Chain A
C-alpha cells in the first residue's frame, strides 16, 4: 500500500548567551565537572530563578527570522519529572504561553523545489545536567552528575506536522540550523549537543485526511542520523501497516550503531508533567519597541543571501548554496570578491580549496582561518597577472593555510615565479623532443595526443613554473616543423 509520510520536528537549540538562563554562571562547553555552577543552577533550597534578558532577545530574534508572532506576554511554567540530571526535579519551561507562535521556514529541496514548513511554537527553557556513568550504563555501580550544562538556555522550536519525507526533514534541519547560525544565537554543533532534534512520525494511506498514530523518535545526533532514523521508521511503520498491525503510540530511540529504532516507553508510561505557571517568575511583558529594534537588526538570512549570490555574482545555485552554508563563509566569500572581483573564480577556490581545509559550517574556524579573504584575493591576483600558474598556486595555497603568509612572499622566497622566457622554454621543448624520438614517431603517425607528453615533461623539468600556455604553443610549433620535413 502507498502511504503519505507525516513528520513534525522538535528542535532544541542551546543559545550562545554568555550566562545561563536563570543565573549568572558561564555556559562554556567542556569545563571540569560542576565548576560552572552556583546554588541556583544546582537547585539548592531557597534559590530563585532570574530571567536572562539576552536569552529572551535571542529567542525573539529567532522567532522574527521564522516569521513567528511574538507574543506580547509570555510566561514560564514548571514541567515536572524525576531525573537526577535535573537539579530541581522540574524544568523551567514554557507551556501555555510560549514566547512565539505561528511561523514558517522555507526549505529548498534537492530537486530544486522549495516548500514552506509551518512552525507551531517557539519557547525557551533551561537545559538539564549530564549523568556520567562509571563503565557502561548496564554495568555501572554508580553514576555521577555534572551540572555544568544545567540551566543553559534552550530554545525549543516545534514544526507543524508538514514535513513529507525523511529527506525533507533533513533539509528542514539544515535550513533551520543555517538560520540559527546566521542569527548568531546557536553554534549549531550537533555532536556537542548544541542542536538536538526529536521527530514525530506517522503514516496514513495516500490521500487520506485523518492522521495516523504518531511515534516519537529521539537520539538522532546528526543530519545524517535524522534522515537514516526517519527512513528506518517510515519503513518499519509501512511494513507493520502492510501486515495489518496497529502502530503503538510510543517513544523510540534511534540506535545509530545498529541502524534501528527501539521502543523506549509507550503512552501508558508517558509522564504527567504537572505543568503549572512558575510562581517564582512574573509573567513577561515584551516591549513592542524592543521587538522592533531586534527586527531592524536582523541580518540577511541564508535563503535571501543565496538568492542574492546567484543574482549579483552570477553564481550557479549550487555554488551559492555551498557558500552561504554559514554566515562566516558567506562573509568570507564576499570579502574576497571585493578585493578580487571575479566571483566564479573566487567561488571555485573557496569551494575546492578552502573547504577542503576548513569545515564550511564552522563559524569560528572560518573566522579564524589563517588564510584570510584578503590573502586569498592576493593569491588569485598572482594567477591572474601570470606571475604563477594555477598549479603552483595550489601549492602556495597549502603553505598559506598553514602559515598564514602572504602569497607574494612565498612565491618570492621559493622562486616560484612562472617561467615565461620564450628562449629558455624553446630550449627545454627542443631537448624534450630530442629525448623522445618514439613519441615523435607516434605523433607523426597521427597520434596528436603524444604532444601532451612533451608539455608534461617540460612542466616537470621546470618544476611546474613554466607558463603552460606558452609551452603548449611551443610544442605544437616544434612538432609541426618536424612533421613537415
Chain B
C-alpha cells in the first residue's frame, strides 16, 4: 500500500481493490505512522469514506470520472475546504472553518479524488522547513530527525510516507519544489495563472502557485490536468486550453535543448547535490537532449528582491486577520487593543517579521526604493528567462543547494531563506518548474533535479522529467517506516 495513483486506479478498474478499501488502508496507515511523520493537521476520515463509497459505485458501474477517480489525496492546509477547518498552520486561523471550497478542491472532488485530510505547512506558507508551523512538527520520512522542507512540508511528507497517494501544495518561493526534493517525490509548480488561486489563503498574491505532488511524473501530470484551467473567480488565471499532460509524457527528450545555468551551480552548495544533479543532466544528454550553458544573470538579486515583494504582499494580505470577523480574538480594552493583542498572539515570529518587513517597504518615502525597485529587478529576472528560452527549450538545475537539515539546525532567518535561492527565480518569472528525485546522499537523503520551462509549457517540463524518471529508478525507492 504505497503505490502510485495510476497503479491504484488501474487496480480499481480491474476490480482488484476498491476506492473504499484503498481509503481505509490509507486511513489505517495514517493512524499507524502519522504520529512519527506528523504530516496531517486534520484527518477527514468520514467524508473520505463517503466519497470513496461514491467512487466504488462509479467503478462498479464502469463509469469512473477520470484517471484520478478514487485517488486518496491530501491538501496543504492553505486551501479552503467547506466545513473543514483551514488553519494555515497558524494560531490565528486554528479554528477557522471556511464556508466555501477553493476552486482546486472543487475540481479535485469533481474528478473523483478523495480528500484524506489537511496537511502541515509553515505558518501562512512562510518558511522552508515546516518548522514555522504553529501547530505541529512534521518530520522527513527519510530521516525523522530532519525537516521535510517547506512550506509544503506536510503534503510532500504525506506522499513520501505513503500517507496519501498524491497531494496539493503551493509554491511562492519554492514551497513545492524544495520539499519535493527533500522528501524524494515529484513536485510541480505550474505557470502563474495556470491553476486558480481562488480559495488558496494568500501569502504573496503575485507569487502564489498551487500545484501537485506525486510519487512519479505521471501522477503529477494527472493531478495537474484535474486542477488546471481558467477560473472566472480568479482574474489572474489564464484562459488557455489545458492539454492532456499524460498523453505526451513518453515522447522523450531527443532533440530538446537543455540550458544549464552557471548561476545555479554556486560555491557554497552541497557537493553531493552538485554531483547528483550533473549526473542527472548527463542522463538527459544520453537520452538525446543537447546541452548548452546559459546565464541567468539576475539570479543573485532574485532572493533579496523576493524578500521585498513577498513580505509587501503578505503584509497586505494578512491585514484582514484582526479578530473582528473570524479566527482568534484576544479581548482588549478597546478595538485597537483587541486587534493588537489578537495579532500578537495569533502570528508566529516569522510571520510577524515578514509583516513588519512588508509594512516597511510599502511605507510612504520607501516605496520607490524598495517595492518599486524590486519590481524592476523582477522584470530583469523575467527577461533572463525570456532570453534563455530563446535559445533552449528547458533549463535544468538543482532544486536546492543543500540536502534536508536537522530540526532546529537553522536558526538564522537568512540561512533559512538561502534554501530557496534556486527556486525563487521561477516564481518571480511565473514559469513552470518541476523537481524530480535524482539520487540520494551517502546517508540516504533525497536530492532533486529541477526542470524549468517556458510559460504554459508544463507539457515539455513533464515530458523531460518523465524521460529522466524512466531512465532511473530513484522514484521507486520508499523510505523505511514502521
Residues of A near any B CB (own CB < 8 A): 39, 42-51, 78, 80, 82, 84, 87-90, 143, 145, 272, 274-276, 279-282
Contacts and interface: CB of A to CB of B under 8 A. Distances in A.
B28 interface: no
Contact of B96 (A45, A82, A84): A45
Nearest to B206: A279
B235 A282 contact: yes
10 contacts: A44-B80, A45-B201, A45-B320, A46-B98, A49-B235, A80-B319, A87-B325, A274-B362, A282-B235, A282-B236
A39 B319 contact: no
Contacts of A82: 319, 322, 336, 339
B326 A279 contact: no
B312 A276 contact: yes
A280 B235 contact: yes
A50 B236 CA distance: 9
Interface in B210-257: 232-236
A143 B79 CA distance: 31
Contacts of B206: 279
A279 B96 contact: no
A44 B320 CA distance: 8
Contact of A48 (B88, B93, B233, B362): B233
Interface of B: 79-80, 86, 88, 93, 96, 98-100, 102, 197-202, 204-206, 232-236, 312-313, 315-316, 319-322, 324-326, 335-336, 339, 359, 362-364, 367, 371
Contacts of B204: 279
Contacts of B79: 46
Of A44, A48, A49, A78, which is in contact with the most chain B CB atoms at under 10 Å from its CB? A48
Contacts of A51: 235
Contacts of A49: 235
B202 A46 contact: yes
A54 B160 CA distance: 49
Nearest to A78: B316
A281 B204 CA distance: 13
A280 B367 CA distance: 19
A237 B399 CA distance: 66
Given A44-B98, A44-B99, A80-B316, A50 B86 contact: no
Contact of A89 (B198, B320, B362): B320
Given A82-B322, A279-B204, 11 more contacts: A44-B326, A45-B201, A46-B201, A48-B236, A80-B362, A272-B363, A272-B364, A274-B364, A275-B362, A275-B367, A276-B313
B235 to A, nearest CB: 5
A261 B169 CA distance: 54
A48 B234 contact: yes
A279 B233 contact: no
Nearest to A145: B324
A315 B364 CA distance: 55
B179 to A, nearest CB: 21
Contacts of A48: 197-198, 233-236
A280 B201 CA distance: 12
B371 A280 contact: no
A89 B93 CA distance: 17
A46 B335 contact: no
A275 B364 CA distance: 9
A50 B232 contact: yes
Contacts of B232: 50
Given A39-B99, A84-B322, A272-B363, A46 B235 contact: no
A84 B198 contact: no
Contacts of B322: 82, 84, 89
Contacts of A90: 316, 319
Given A88-B319, A281-B235, A44 B324 contact: no
Nearest to A89: B319
Given A87-B320, A272-B363, A276-B316, A42 B235 contact: no
Contacts of B326: 44
Nearest to B234: A48
A354 B363 CA distance: 56
